Amino acid sequence: MFGNIGKRDATVSINKQTIRIAAGGPQSARPPMIDLPPGKYQYALKVAGGPARNNSIEIGAGDTWGVMIGPGGDVLPLQMY
């Protein structure tokens, strides 16, 4: 599940998929989501007007993660359950 509390739109590319995350917090009752099988994934975050940032996340079986993009374009991954 993705959220963006920044002032610029962002995209996250992970597992050959690109997800657009609108700026300014939740825009709908259903935020952008992606289902991935367990494993370690490389991702790239691109905030409008800034360079791409690359990192990785490891997802276990049954995990649910929230990924929040902050005002400075930083990524805060939060394991929800």
Extended strands (E) in the chain: 2-4, 10-14, 17-21, 39-47, 52-59, 65-69, 75-79
Pick the more confident residue, 81 or 21.
21
Lowest-confidence segment of 26-30, 68-72, 73-77 by average pLDDT: 26-30
Average pLDDT over residues 20-27: 82
| The predicted structure's pLDDT at residue 78 | 86
The Cα–Cα gap between 37 and 78 comes to: 17
Task: Determine contact, residues 55/75, Cβ cutoff 8 Å.
Answer: yes
Bridging pattern class, strands 2-4 and 17-21: unpaired
pLDDT value of residue 27: 65
Mean pLDDT computed over 52-81: 88
Mean pLDDT for the chain overall: 89
pTM: predicted TM-score of the whole model, two decimal places: 0.82
